[in-house]
Each structure stands twice: as C-alpha cells, then as structure tokens.
Structure 1
Amino acid sequence: MGGAGFIGSHLAEGLLAAGHQVKIFDRPNLVRPENLLADPRIEWYDGDFLNQDDVARAMPGVEILFHLVSATLPKSSNDNPLYDVESNIMGTLRVLDLARIHQVKRVIFASSGGTVYGIPQTVPIAETHATEPRVSYGISKLAIEKYLHLYHALYGMEYCVLRIANPFGERQRVSTAQGAVAVFLHQALHNQTIHIWGDGSVTRDYIYIKDVVQAFIQALSYTGEQRVFNIGSGHGLSINDILAAIENLLDKPVERSYENARSFDVPVNVLDISCARTQLGWQPAVDFHDGLVNTLLWMRQEPHVR
C-alpha cells in the first residue's frame, strides 16, 4: 500500500534486491518511478485506498503487507481531523479485514516517531514513552497501531510497527512539503528564500531513506515479542543545523525568513533506537552529511524535481 511514493519506491527496490516478488498499490495517475517500471517482478495496481473493491484486486497471494499509505500530512491534519479519521483509520480497517480474509501472514506499518509522542518528557524518546500527539496525524497513527494489536488478539494476525522519525533522500517530493531536508535543499539550489517557523531551534531526528528501507527488510523476518520500534538516527538536528549543512555543501549562503512559530510544533524530537538495535538487529549506516550529498546529486540529475 503506497508503493509508488517516496518510501514505497525505495522499499520496492530493497525488496527486489532481497529476491522478493512485489505488488504495488497506489493512487491512479501517480507518476511511477522509471527505475521500477520495466521490472517484471513487480505487479502494479491502481486504485482508491478507500475503495474496498480496488484494494481487494491486489490482495490475492500477498504474504507480507507493507502499509505506507497516509492521506494527510502532520502540518495539515489538524485542519480537518474528520477527514484524517475517515481516510486513514477507516481505510486501514478495510485493508485489515481484507488481509484477514486473504490470510496475509504479517502487516508491517509505517507509523510516526515524529508525532505520536508529543512533547517529550525525556530525550531520547523510547517506545515506552507516553504518547500525547499534538496533531491529528499522530492520533490516527496511534489508533492504527492499536487496531493492529486488536487484530492480532482476535485473529492471530502478525504485525510490526515502525515509528519512523523524519526520513529524507532521493525522490522525496518538494511540491507537497513532504520533508524539511528536501524542501530546503531544493529551495537553496534555486536561490529561493527559505521560510522557517520559529527561530530555527526546533530539533528533529533525520534518517536517510536507505536506512529506513533496511529496517523494513529486517522486520520481514522478525519473530520476537516486541512489536513497536523507533526508527531514526538517534541524533537531533535543529532547522538552523540543517541550513548550515546545506550552506556548507553548496558553498553559498541561503536566504531565510523567520516566521511566527506554529503551536503544534514540539521543541525537540529525538528517538531512542536501542530497541531496534538489539531486537531487529538494525542500526543506521548512512550519516546525515552523506545522505544530504546523495540527495543533492539526485536533485542535480533530475532538474524537474517536483
């Protein structure tokens, strides 16, 4: 679910490299990554995530279901919580019912390590930390986690939840402001003014997309009792840190404008990833600088980045 997007297309590559057959379900008219189009090991399905018949067409024969779909973004989900619930939670429940009917062995869900915890009481934030989201997006993610546990209790459906921090890298969309790193880098490359909410001290955990994919691959064969894992770098960078790194990489200053802070932004979010290290056998392999270099190379090779 959501296999043609930023995370999904990279995950498809990782699964193919690991020798798996892949089905991709995503929205109609979505531009498919060119590097995946000609691969005969991929079956493509277009449809509406909220249409059970559309989703059902893709379900036969699926053993592992990766749920990456989200119809909202954290920054906009509070504008219409009802739509957030109707699109993400209701859609997921229909998918889980189909997964149960088709005897899917495991569901691996992309949750949000950046929003489910809210304002941290301790940093870095462990999976046992209280969950008090400040955006509807985070509440929906938590609700889906709970429904996965319910389906496990009722029907024995196996599942794993990856609470992903702030992924960045190649093919991240800039037109929808999908991630600060890609948006800022794109704006700096085109000599545009970068608008910042607050004073730039807001700190987040940024994780390179290839490391996220490896976490999903590790979750494929995981059989332990722990079902929820933080997936991040374990280190925090402020907005100002990111801008400094971009200026250093491009060897030029970037224009910036500081705006009023947003009420829902928590001051810091850095994940404790020790559980993923010990239980999944996973840890990030690409540091922020190298990931930023890779993203820049892609942007320069793809002048029409959207």
Structure 2
Amino acid sequence: MGSQLKCVILGGGGFIGSHIVETLAEQGHSVRVFERHNINTRNIAHVLGRIELVYGDFLNEDDLCRALAGMDIIIHLVSTTLPKSSNDNVIYDVETNVIGTIRLLNLAKQLGIRKIIFASSGGTVYGLPQYQPISETHPTDPICSHGIAKITIEKYLQLYHHLYNLDYTVLRFANPYGPKQDPMTGQGAITVFLQQILNEEPISIWGDGTVARDYFYISDLAEAVLAAIEKDPPSKIYNIASGFSHTLNELINIMQAVTGRTPLIRYLPARKLDVSVNILDISRARKELSWSPQVPLEEGINRTWQWLQNYK
C-alpha cells in the first residue's frame, strides 16, 4: 500500500486509539486524530507535535468531512455504547453507531478513501459459543445490542465493498488491557481490579469468578492494526486476541503475585449478558497478517500495575 499512508483515527484520543496513534506515528505514517471537543488529550500529549488533531462530532457530517479530507485510511474506533449498557437504550445504539457509520461510509465513498479498518468486538459478536476457540466463521448471534450494532456495521462494510469497491478490514478484538485504560469507566476487568487493589477497595465479581475471557495487551492490538494497514491482507475479518482464556479468579491470583497484595473479593449474582467462556482462534491473523501477540499476561499485568501507580 505504499510507504507513508495518511491515516485518520476516529476516536484516537482514547485508550485504544492513543496506542494506535503512537505506533503509526513511530512507523512514519501521517496521523490525524478526530475527537470530541471536550476530550482530555493526556493520552496523546507526548505525540501532539507529530500529529494533527481535529475536533468535532462523529454524528455531524460537516465535522466528519473535515476529518476525512485528504486521507487514505480510516481507523474507526468510535463506539457510543458499552456492551454492559447497550441493551438499556437500543435505539440510541443504532442511531449513533449504525446510522453514524453509514454516514461515514457515504463520505468515504465520495472522498475516495482507500480503506477502512473497523474495530469490532470479538467478545460480543459471536454470542454464546458453539465451539472453542471461536474462529471467524463461527455463527454471529450476539446477546447484547452492542454486538448486534457491530455485526450490522460489518455487513454494511461488506455491502459498500460490493457496491462501490470501498476496501475494508474488520478486526474483532477480544479484551485489550494496559496503560491508558481509564479505570473509572468500569471497562476492562484487569485495569479496574488493579485500581481497586491499589486503593484497597473490595473487588466485585459477577458470578463465581469462573467467567473466562481472552485478554491481550494493548501494544499487540496496535501492531495488529498496523499489519492490517500495511499488508493488504486477503481476508476481510480477523480475530485479534491472545488465543487463551483466563477466569476472573485466575486474574486475581496473577494480580496478587504481581502486586504482593491480597484483595477482598465480593461475589455477586451472575449477569445475563455474560457469556461464560470466550476464547478466540487467532490462526488466520497469525498466517495472513504475520501477527501474533508478544506480551504474556503476567508481564502485561505488571506493566499496567506500574502505570496505574503513577496515574492520577
């Protein structure tokens, strides 16, 4: 796809986006970040001199047009809902995420964008697993609105590719964690639990702690995005994960070893939206993107713990 690419990262100031911004800037790509007006830029403060920052509203066509003008690649990270809250207001989920993305696709087509990289959800699009590890060809039957919105967007990407030859890659992320993940959002068990250990607060676990997820370190996610941009891969959908699952109880044990602290655990009734086990098959990404996760869980948790101790 050529050496230097002009990439716009929608939602580039957040946890995931800021790591992608850093990685792309380091590789010599031209980076523009599109973010909300009131966003705190602390995550990207150290690279502000090397990137362009554009403010606006994802749902405002004029703002979006300014953000996309002159770009080659769109990295679409914007999501207005979280899996756990998406079922509370399904109409909002569809209006903001699905309709907003269709507007984005129309603009991308008009402006001659070469490719869209879309951040999908390996944890929610498949629903209840019929087999483990879950491959990209597994049925998609989400049990939360967030997952339904993600899979709908994937289908529209496919449609626009079919109709207008707008290229795309879908990356179905498992559970990324690491520095810059704000523990106050309540997203990301590893960061939230570590923050509670740091503050000597009890950790609340829904169910008996045997819910198992596929956790992978944020720098590995950024490398996957880089590969999807630079390699022009043959498939359209890739699982991006560690390829292993760990229960919440196992996470707590590793955290105890890393921090040297023993947290107080409160077990609460299980939630309907939680799939019991989710492990993604990453063999397609290994083969076609030449990508594989590099940071082991214990090391990643240690890095996150070191960062949190300086996070204010």
Using structure 2 for the length normalisation, give the TM-score: 0.95
Cα separation, 2, equivalents of 1:152 and 1:36: 36
Cα separation, 2, equivalents of 1:31 and 1:292: 25
Cα separation, 1, equivalents of 2:230 and 2:94: 31
Q: Deviations over 1:123-142 (max 9, x none)?
A: 00000001111110000000
Using the TM superposition, give the Cα deviation of residue 41 of structure 1 relative to its aligned residue in structure 2, in angstroms. Answer: 2.7
Match of 2:62 among 49, 53, 59: 53
Cα separation, 2, equivalents of 1:254 and 1:151: 50
Using the TM superposition, give the Cα deviation of residue 21 of structure 1 relative to its aligned residue in structure 2, in angstroms. Answer: 1.0
Q: Structure 1 residues 224 and 251, CA, compared in 2 at 3 Å: closer, same or farther? A: closer
Match of 1:267 among 273, 276, 288: 276
Instruction: Tell me the equivalent position of 1:36.
Output: 45
Instruction: Tell me the equivalent position of 2:87.
Output: 78
Cα separation, 2, equivalents of 1:252 and 1:145: 43
Match of 2:115 among 102, 106, 116: 106
> Mean alpha-carbon deviation: is it higher for 216-225 or for 178-187?
216-225
* Root mean square deviation of aligned Cα: 1.0
Match of 2:237 among 228, 237, 252: 228
Cα separation, 1, equivalents of 2:108 and 2:47: 28
SS at match of 1:242: helix
Match of 2:200 among 176, 181, 191: 191
Using the TM superposition, give the Cα deviation of residue 36 of structure 1 relative to its aligned residue in structure 2, in angstroms. Answer: 3.5
Q: Aligned AA for 1:15?
A: L
Is 1:139 matched with 2:133? no
Q: Deviations over 1:42-78 (max 9, x none)?
A: 1111111111111111111110100000000000001
Equivalent residues of 1:206, 1:232 under 8 A apart: yes
Q: Aligned AA for 1:300?
A: Q
Q: Deviations over 1:211-247 (max 9, x none)?
A: 0000000001233431100000000000111111111
How many residue pairs get aligned? The number is 303
SS at match of 2:32: strand
Equivalent residues of 1:165, 1:230 under 8 A apart: yes
Moved over 2 A (4+): 33-41, 221-225
Q: Structure 1 residues 41 and 61, CA, compared in 2 at 3 Å: closer, same or farther? A: farther
Cα separation, 2, equivalents of 1:135 and 1:38: 36
Aligned pairs (5 A) from 1:127-206 = 127-206=136-215
Match of 1:249 among 244, 258, 277: 258
Question: Could you list the runs of 5+ residues in structure 2 that have no partner in the other structure?
Answer: 1-9
Cα separation, 2, equivalents of 1:25 and 1:224: 25
SS at match of 1:183: helix
Using structure 1 for the length normalisation, give the TM-score: 0.97
Q: Deviations over 1:67-100 (max 9, x none)?
A: 0000000000011111100110011111111111
Q: Structure 1 residues 252 and 38, CA, compared in 2 at 3 Å: closer, same or farther? A: closer
Using the TM superposition, give the Cα deviation of residue 154 of structure 1 relative to its aligned residue in structure 2, in angstroms. Answer: 0.7
Equivalent residues of 1:9, 1:33 under 8 A apart: no
Cα separation, 2, equivalents of 1:40 and 1:31: 16
Identity score, percent? 48
Q: Aligned AA for 2:133?
A: P
SS at match of 2:239: strand
Q: Aligned AA for 2:38?
A: N
Instruction: Tell me the equivalent position of 2:103.
Output: 94
Q: Aligned AA for 2:232?
A: T
Equivalent residues of 2:116, 2:169 under 8 A apart: yes
Cα separation, 2, equivalents of 1:35 and 1:174: 17
Is 1:300 matched with 2:283? no
Q: Aligned AA for 1:49?
A: F
Cα separation, 2, equivalents of 1:222 and 1:152: 18
Is 1:284 matched with 2:299? no
Cα separation, 1, equivalents of 2:48 and 2:12: 14
Equivalent residues of 1:10, 1:213 under 8 A apart: yes
Using the TM superposition, give the Cα deviation of residue 38 of structure 1 relative to its aligned residue in structure 2, in angstroms. Answer: 5.4
Is 1:18 matched with 2:20? no
Instruction: Tell me the equivalent position of 1:68.
Output: 77
Question: Could you list the runs of 5+ residues in structure 1 that have no partner in the other structure?
Answer: none
